[in-house]
Amino acid sequence: MKRRQFLQYSTLTAAGLTFAACTNQGSTHFTQPAANFGKLEKTDLQIGIVSSLDCLPLVVAKEKGMFKKYGLNVTLVKQPTWDKGQEELHSGKLDAVQTLFAMPLWEYFSSKESKSQEQEENTSRSNRRRRQKEREESKSKANANTVALMGLNINGNSISLSETAWKAGLRSRQAYNSLGEFQEGYNKFFRELKTPPEFAIAHPAAMANYTTRYWLGTMGIDAERDVKIKVLAPQDITAGLESGKVVGYATDEFFNQQTLADKKAFTASLDRDIWQGHPEKILASLDTWLKENPITAKALMAAVLEACQFCDNQENVTALAPILGKSEYTNPGTNKNWQKILAGSYNYGGFDAKPQVQKVSDFQIFHFQSTKYLQSPNHANFLWHSHAVWVLTQMVRWNQQKLTDYPKNADGIIKQLYPVEGYAAVAKAFWLNMPKGQLKIEQPEMFVDRIAFDPNKPMEYLNGFELRA
């Protein structure tokens, strides 16, 4: 038996969850006049979004007039991938983006040497000269760091498996009498596969990648050797599931509900059952842009914060689906089952006729719900530096970006990439209490394996993992 036992999941009952329309977290500010932060440096903004459920606050801010309320004329530009959004941000075509919580760290530690070598191998001399000239012309933008402005949501991913796994007897967590039984079944399935199967993710820096690796590890499944975790496009995931080459994937919505409806997969676990209240997507810009547009940045955050509060008010649920369902924001043919998620129901899917819909009120939190892991003054939009510490431990654990040791200057890097001053000013204008400090201990009951995380002891935490790259 591995040291990290796969212990009992906590059960979050609907009775313990309440949607916050007007709490001691501050009034839902869309009922109040716009806060005045000063003269805007820029009013016309281009913001990149990826078609997913967690782009909802930005869509609401656009469609419900929050951006206009703060003097901003915003165009939302749909991006095909997270990397494309970052590329457009660094080129100057976008002012801000919806992106992955870990993206600032991922880019900061990216290997310039490996990128240069790849370009040398795949690019002709003439193209290299052209690209070099373009890089020199946009050197300041290219060298800028992506920085987080605020959180957009917590939770929001799921881990789903193929029909092959279903036929082998695996089911969603709810179908098992105990966690020991669940662990035994999953461990046996992966161990008996003749070759390591592919497991799909959207991006190496996606929180779904880190929580999936953590989840596998608690069952004694090595994410580096027992499976092949790969970045795959949605169409490739679907093809892989049909062929049997892909055994599962970890992703956010909308894709998962579409796949479940098409009977291509079933959901094994939600990531909020792996780490309750983990960070997910953020609103981000470049540090150079933030320096040039500090007042505009505050107005932008204020508009999005109002929208996040709007999204968590259950009275507004019926108004959210038609807004997000517009073709500018969702891809053609997107299954509408995600609309039920906004109302607090989650479909786990399956390959039998039995209903697999469960009450999950906190699948995704955009601002605040009173849960045992989210209590005032904590809220989803607050950027905990301790969350960044956790991500960095996982980057080191899996040797991402050639990281083999926890950086000695990590605290300074995190403060640089996840600044708090601008958001603090917005929170104050919203009469929103802020947590004291930027580091918090994640209690044992927050994690599936009941192992606490102390951000003040990252090396000790890292050394506790038996399974790592």
For residue 423, what is the domain's CATH number?
Answer: 3.40.190.10
Give, in degrees to the nearest 5, the angle at Cα 303 between 427 and 36: 65
Q: What pLDDT, on a 0 to 100 scale, did the predictor assign at position 29?
A: 66
Q: What is the pLDDT along the chain (469 residues), one digit of tens a residue?
A: 333 333 333 333 333 333 333 344 544 666 789 999 999 999 999 999 999 999 999 999 999 999 999 999 999 999 999 999 999 999 999 999 999 999 999 999 995 444 434 344 444 555 655 555 554 444 455 689 999 999 999 999 999 999 999 999 999 988 888 878 888 899 999 989 989 999 999 999 999 999 999 999 999 999 999 999 999 999 999 999 999 999 999 999 999 999 999 999 999 999 999 999 999 999 999 999 999 999 999 999 999 999 999 999 989 999 998 899 899 998 887 878 888 999 999 999 999 988 889 999 999 999 999 999 999 999 999 999 999 999 999 999 999 999 999 999 999 999 999 999 999 999 999 999 999 999 999 999 999 999 999 999 999 999 999 999 9
- Could you tell me where the beta strands, DSSP code E, fall in 132-185? 146-151, 154-155, 157-162
Burial of 140 (0-12, 13-18, 19+ CB in 10 A): exposed
Q: What pLDDT, on a 0 to 100 scale, did the predictor assign at position 373?
A: 96
Strand duo 96-100 + 198-201: pairing: unpaired
Confirm if 299 and 70 have CB atoms less than 8 A apart: yes
DSSP letter, residue 80? S
SS3 201: strand
Cα–Cα dist 265/137, whole Å? 47
SS3 256: helix
Q: Which of 126, 138, 175 is nearest to 348 (CA)?
A: 175
Q: Is residue 367 part of a domain?
A: no
Q: Is residue 245 part of a domain?
A: no
Q: Is residue 213 part of a domain?
A: no
pTM over 0.85: yes
Q: Is residue 324 part of a domain?
A: yes
Q: Which of 318, 435, 436, 452 is nearest to 380 (CA)?
A: 435
> What dihedral do alpha carbons 370, 374, 375, 378 form, nearest 10°?
-130
Q: Is residue 423 part of a domain?
A: yes
- Integer angstrom CA distances of residue 43 from 72, 73, 79, 136: 5, 6, 22, 28
Q: How many domains does the chain have?
A: 1
- Integer angstrom CA distances of residue 335 from 16, 50, 264, 321: 29, 16, 13, 12
Q: The tokens of 159 are what?
A: 């881990």
Q: What pLDDT, on a 0 to 100 scale, did the predictor assign at position 1?
A: 37
Q: The tokens of 152 are what?
A: 């957009």
Q: Is residue 97 part of a domain?
A: yes
Cα–Cα dist 363/197, whole Å? 28
The parent domain of residue 123 ranges over 14-154+279-329+377-429
Q: Is residue 322 part of a domain?
A: yes
Cα–Cα dist 437/114, whole Å? 37
Rounded to the nearest 10 degrees, the angle between the axes of helix 56-63 and helix 317-324 is 90
Q: Is residue 149 part of a domain?
A: yes
Radius of gyration of the chain (CA): 22
Confirm if 386 and 454 have CB atoms less than 8 A apart: no
SS3 282: strand
